[in-house]
Amino acid sequence: MMRQMRENTKWIMLATALAFVALMVFQWGMDITGRSAMGVGEIGRVNGTPIMYDDYMATYRNLYSQVQQTQQGPITTQRTREIEDEAFDEIVTQILMSQELERRGIRVTDDEIRQAAQQSPPPEMLQQSVFLTDGQFDLQKYQEFIASPQADPNLLLYLESYYRTVIPRAKLLRQLTMGMYLSDEELWQAWRDEHETVQIRYLALQPGLRIADSEVSVSESEARAYYEDHEEEFETPARARVQAVVIRMAPTAADTAASLARAEETRARIEEGGEAFAEVAREVSEDLLTAEAGGDLGIVYHGQRLPVIDSAVFATPAGGLAGPVQSPSGYHVLRVDERWDQDSARVSHILLPLQRTDESEIALLTLADSLEALAESYPLAEAAQMLGLDVQSGELTDEFAFIAGAGQVDDAAVWAFEEAVEGDVSPVFETAQAFYALELVSLTPRGVLPFSEVRSEIEGDLRFQKKIDLAKENATDLVEQVRAGATLEEVATDVELQVQEAGPLTRNGFATGLGRQSPAVGVAFGLAPGAVSDPVISNQDVFIIEQVSHTPADSAAWAAQRDLQRNQLLGQSSQTRITDWLAGLRASARVVDRRDEVLQPPTENALPQSRGGLF
């Protein structure tokens, strides 16, 4: 058996490494590289502790890959920015956790690691065939394996790192959730809300459909009174109408062809020129995370990457080259260092990003400079015409400033609302996607919409409210008839309504026509069988509810599962407490974010050079 275990060691190591990486990056935000910053240094601080570039980029890369695996199309610039912020937040959380562990003096001993390794194997170990007996995990096989002198030292190091990370955090979580308790009364209430049911019949008076506009009226004085009492509802942001000229920074078709040619030349240097892959990677690869390691990407699992990359890797034998292959990051020259069937492979790559050539970049900057120079003397439209550029119209507000093709234009908003007057032309501004210039056409200050513009909207709302009131009066008459001896069907027929049925309903369930946890459902539980409710206003409708039957929750069934329920609800409550605690920890922390100073943001069609390999 030990021979079989040794043969399976590489697979166990791969699974353990993958799970440990996932734990660090996605649960605790830890760095997966273990390397120091590659010349970029820190990009922020948390309570004085530096946030290193390598840590941030490793987390960003994993989050980006995770997102890519869950969607078909390319990742948008907006989503990329969200991933950047998520990665930064992950790192902040990791540092805060480490600081809190230090502050509380929480440690892990070697004995605790040994005991955990023997008695609580990582989850991924439970599925390894070498540890199964009749399809079930065999703890004895696992213990014999890790205690064997033939056990791979690297695997043991992985296990030690795993427990050295997990155990202190488990101790912290126990401290945070210590003392949590749910009483039997709370458990019974939660059980009852899910299992007590009622069967009902009801009338829905549907005032919006059944009461004509002619039956209610709204005077101008009523509408004006509402307007004056609710003026804050009609406030408007400052608005700037502009003309805009946008010069996109995205690489041109010629730039893309040049990048491909460079990638083909790079492959030829290795394949035909005999140069070492690692040395070429160090020289030309724009993936700062892997270049210093000779392009080593580590283990790539089947189905984990973009299909075009996946296909190239698993169609290439060990030792072979593949590519150039295009991803959103650029062109990749790939080398398959090792292969394990179609399951996984160790891969290295060289990234040549999609970017403008020097000539193209100079032409772009020259065009932007020319636009700025001409716009100092001519209206924007004339300057654009001289340069063969298009002009578009747009509107900015002081709450949201966006120009198609340029994205969020905060600099433009400052210029338009604080510096410019109508007819002014702005300097050329820059975003991650484009250069752009604006001409201010008109400026409307923040204010309140005039009554004349909102009068019809107000009248419509007041008219509907009057319909609700009228329907409630009609429903009151119907309820009195039922309580005087008429049946629900009889009063429904008189007013051309239809009796509807619903149930069995729970307090937390959804009822068609009534909604979820609506006042109508709540009223139904307060009735006795056969009783009819007063009119109930719910979901912009008026209801009359009659309870048909009531089934209490089964107290014996509740008692039988009480312990399980308590554990489940305590787990949910614990998670809420931990989430709230982390939010509070973050709110009180001194976080300095220097990414804007240190990192180059991505263009619209290409990831930043430092993010190569994100395929």
Domain ranges of the chain: 2-178+579-611, 197-234+451-551, 235-250+359-448, 253-355
Q: Which of 69, 73, 600, 56 is nearest to 355 (CA)?
A: 600
pLDDT tens-digit profile of 145-198?
888 877 777 777 878 888 888 899 888 888 888 888 889 999 999 999 999 999
Alpha helix ranges (H) inside 8-109: 9-22, 53-69, 77-104
Q: Which of 35, 98, 100 is nearest to 61 (CA)?
A: 35
Cα 396 from Cα 443, distance rounded (Å): 10
pLDDT computed for residue 322 by the predictor: 87
Q: Regarding the domain delimited by 253-355, which CATH topology (the fold level of the hierarchy) does it fall under?
A: Chitinase A; domain 3 (3.10.50)
Please say whether the structural domain 197-234+451-551 has been given the CATH code 3.10.50: yes
Pair 54, 31: CB distance under 8 Å: yes
CATH of region 2-178+579-611: 1.10.4030
Q: Is the peptide bond before 74 cis (omega within 30 degrees of 0)?
A: no
Domains 197-234+451-551 and 253-355 agree in fold: yes
**Which residues partner with 500 through β-bridges?**
202
Six token digits for residue 19: 């799970």
Q: What 3-state DSSP class applies to 282?
A: helix
pLDDT computed for residue 227 by the predictor: 93
Low-confidence ranges of the chain (pLDDT < 70): 1-40, 72-74, 76-78, 304-305, 599-615
pLDDT computed for residue 72 by the predictor: 64
Q: Regarding the domain delimited by 235-250+359-448, which CATH topology (the fold level of the hierarchy) does it fall under?
A: Chitinase A; domain 3 (3.10.50)
Q: Is the peptide bond before 504 cis (omega within 30 degrees of 0)?
A: yes
Handedness of CA 573, 574, 577, 583 (dihedral sign): negative
Cα 324 from Cα 271, distance rounded (Å): 12
DSSP-assigned letters across all residues of 132-188: EETTEE-HHHHHHHHHSTTS-HHHHHHHHHHHHHHHHHHHHHHHHHTT----HHHHH
